Amino acid sequence: MQNTHRPRAKKGHLSTLRPRELLQLPGKKALDLILESGTPASLVQSMAEEDVFWLVQDIGPEDALPILSVASNDQWQYLLDMDLWQRDRLRIDSVNRWFALLLQADTERFLIWALRKHRELVKLHLSRNIDVKIRNQDESPSDFAKDYFTFDNVFYIHIKSKDHYHTIRQLLERLAEHDLDKFHQVLLELNHVLPAESEENLYRLRSVRLAEKGFLPFDEAVGIYQHIDTDALVEKKPEVQKIIQQPQPSEPAPLSASLLIQDRNLFYKALKRIEPGPALERLQMEFAAMCNQIISADGLMVRDKEKLASVVRKACGYLAIGLERLAGNDTARACLFLQKTPLSQVFRVGYSAALNLKWKAEKWFRKSWFVRESLNLSFWDDEWGGILEGLLKKRPLFYTGLSGGELYREFRNSSDISYCHSALEQIMALDHLMSLLFAGGVLPYRGKAWQPVNYKNLLLTSWARDHLDLPESDGTLLVNDMKTFFRDLWTKGQKPYRVDEKMKQSFVDWLTMRSGLPAADLLGDLGKTFERLFVEIETEYGSVSIQDLDPRYVKHFLVVL
């Protein structure tokens, strides 16, 4: 049957058009340029299967019939492999949708391809959607119910699904027109279809095909997150492997993933240094496969560019961290590592940096003072509590504090690692200090404080009570006690108020006296933490008159009415 959707060549075609340029355009614009080219089939078939998939997704499968009509059978195969399954379950609605699209795109080619390569899928789909009866010689066509139809007065068919009726009927009609004998064979074989067994076999074959693209089984894909000894790679001298008569890749390198790289990090800069050629194509193929492995390991369903972009950001982040650990900030050296080291190993080096932080946090967490006191992560306030929660997740994440619209994200560079490491060190040091200051446990409250307990208000309230010579039988302040303390805290005759330097020294003296730690050790480990705490106090209350202090809004002290 003549295909009405095959695009016509136009005069003045764009002979210099390349897949990279197409994939950087909006889907509809790319479609227009393909149709304007003189050889749309050659242009589409020169693209990697992954790139055709994303191009079709950008355009919309129903609007991409001209692309589907000239795509190769292998490109069709990848489209089906990616879109027919939800984990290990076949999505019948998707099967019906793609059968309809490919029937429209190129009916004859689809029927030949489906019967030769996907007969089991066709039979499984039909077995779930139709009932078949064979007319005996002594039966009249009127003996069959009205919802049965026939193309040959022998096989009478009933389509069970209204949603799939049009596609199933068209498939059967086109198949009968294409080859009546094969049509009969398919219908006769439906009685022998075992749906569960067929689906399992189809999934196995699909898994084998996609494994070549990086979509490994979960138990293999999670190897991307396996810890690796960074020193073993650093000790290797990064020398470029010589390429002696290396053949060009048998398949075009997929570009969709690499074109989504936006962060101008060390990985981006090192990649930019590599000249176009076999080495760069290898890296592009490795990068696409690695992104696919991440998708498999994370159990993601990625069917739009936005989700793919998030996977690319994750890959680039850990690649950048890995290169920074291997090559410092030396772009030339990082470029050499890219050319000699598999990307998956560089990624694992970067991810291992996050794993090391996670393991350090977990080791401390199990024996920490605040856990022994049955306090939760909110004890460390929003920022530190968020950092700890991110590190203690099954796969560690960076706490953003909602700065980028997301509470947690993947680590993107060594600065993220260093920031969390510094915070963890301060938390651990302060936890140890708390264990000395409150060796007998956290004091009970005399009444209900306005604010939940955290390390800031616990520490400052205890100091304030000591400064005011209040008994240690309680852990809170009355409103008048709080205001008295603030009168001593502020420098006299200055507004906005500033913390008196004598009071800062008094705080350090109290810590050393109560903990038994030398002041030099305290300030060496936690000096910046205490300084930030005093800056917070000045920022929060420095412009408020002492008589106007309201315990409902004083979060740095535990105050009761």
Three-state SS string over 152-210 comes to CCCEEEEECCCCCHHHHHHHHHHHHHHCHHHHHHHHHHHHHCCHHHHHHHHHHHHHHHH
Q: How many CB atoms lie within 10 A of CB 217?
A: 11
Contact predicate 381/457, CB 8 Å? no
What's residue 270's pLDDT? 96
What's residue 413's pLDDT? 95
What's residue 443's pLDDT? 64
Please return the burial class of 416, using the count of CB atoms within 10 Å of its CB with bins 0-12, 13-18 and 19+.
buried
Computed over every residue of the chain, the mean pLDDT equals 91
What's residue 241's pLDDT? 41
Q: How many CB atoms lie within 10 A of CB 55?
A: 24
**H helix or E strand, kind and range, residue 457:** helix 455-467
Grade residue 234 by pLDDT with cuts at 50, 70 and 90: low
Give me the percent of the chain exceeding a pLDDT of 90. Answer: 81
Indicate the DSSP class of residue 393.
S
143 or 448, greater pLDDT: 143
SS3 374: coil
What's residue 6's pLDDT? 42
Q: Among residues 473, 502, 470, 486, which one has the least CA distance to residue 557?
A: 486
Contact predicate 329/277, CB 8 Å? no
Grade residue 526 by pLDDT with cuts at 50, 70 and 90: very high
Across 544-555, average pLDDT: 93
Distance CA 380, CA 390 (A): 13
pLDDT over threshold 50, residue 149:
yes
- What is the domain partition of the chain in residue ranges? 1-83, 106-211, 213-243+250-350, 455-560
B/e letters for 99-122, b = 16+ CB within 10 Å, e = fewer, are bbbbbbbbbeebbeebbeebebbb
CA dihedral angle for residue 406, residue 410, residue 414, residue 415, rounded to 10 degrees? 10
> Per mean pLDDT, which of 137-151, 244-258, 524-538 is the most reliable?
524-538
Report the range of poorest mean pLDDT among 227-241, 331-345, 492-506. 227-241
User: How much is the pTM?
Assistant: 0.87
Q: Among residues 168, 2, 3, 9, which one has the least CA distance to residue 69?
A: 3
Enter the tokens of residue 334.
Answer: 């990082």
Across 552-561, average pLDDT: 90
pLDDT over threshold 70, residue 513:
yes
Enter the tokens of residue 335.
Answer: 């470029």
Grade residue 473 by pLDDT with cuts at 50, 70 and 90: confident
Q: What is the pLDDT of residues 404-462, one digit of tens each?
A: 578 999 999 999 999 999 999 999 999 999 999 998 877 665 456 678 889 999 999 99
What's residue 436's pLDDT? 96
**H helix or E strand, kind and range, residue 559:** strand 559-560
For the chain, helix, strand, coil in percent to 5 are 60, 5, 35
Report the range of poorest mean pLDDT among 1-15, 238-252, 454-468, 469-483. 1-15
Q: What is the pLDDT of residues 27-63, one digit of tens each?
A: 999 999 999 988 999 999 999 999 999 999 999 999 9
pLDDT over threshold 80, residue 370:
yes
Q: Give CA angle at 39 (34, 40), nearest 5°.
A: 35
CA dihedral angle for residue 103, residue 105, residue 107, residue 111, rounded to 10 degrees? -70
SS3 149: strand
Distance CA 307, CA 300 (A): 9
Q: What is the pLDDT of residues 261-310, one digit of tens each?
A: 999 999 999 999 999 999 999 999 999 999 999 999 999 999 899 999 99
pLDDT over threshold 60, residue 2:
no
Across 191-208, average pLDDT: 96
Enter the tokens of residue 418.
Answer: 């260093």
**The amino acid at 353:** A
What's residue 442's pLDDT? 76
Q: How many CB atoms lie within 10 A of CB 395?
A: 14
What's residue 254's pLDDT? 95
pLDDT over threshold 90, residue 243:
no
Distance CA 12, CA 91 (A): 43
Question: How far, in Å, are 229, 329, 555 from residue 548 at the CA level?
Answer: 58, 52, 15
Region of residue 24 (left: phi > 0; alpha: psi -120 to 50; beta: else):
alpha
Can you tell me which residue has the tokens 């009415």? 561
Question: How far, in Å, are 16, 468, 474 from residue 436 at the CA level?
Answer: 73, 21, 18
Distance CA 464, CA 475 (A): 10
DSSP string, 77-119: HHHHHHHSEETTEE-HHHHHHHHHHHHHH-HHHHHHHHHHH-H
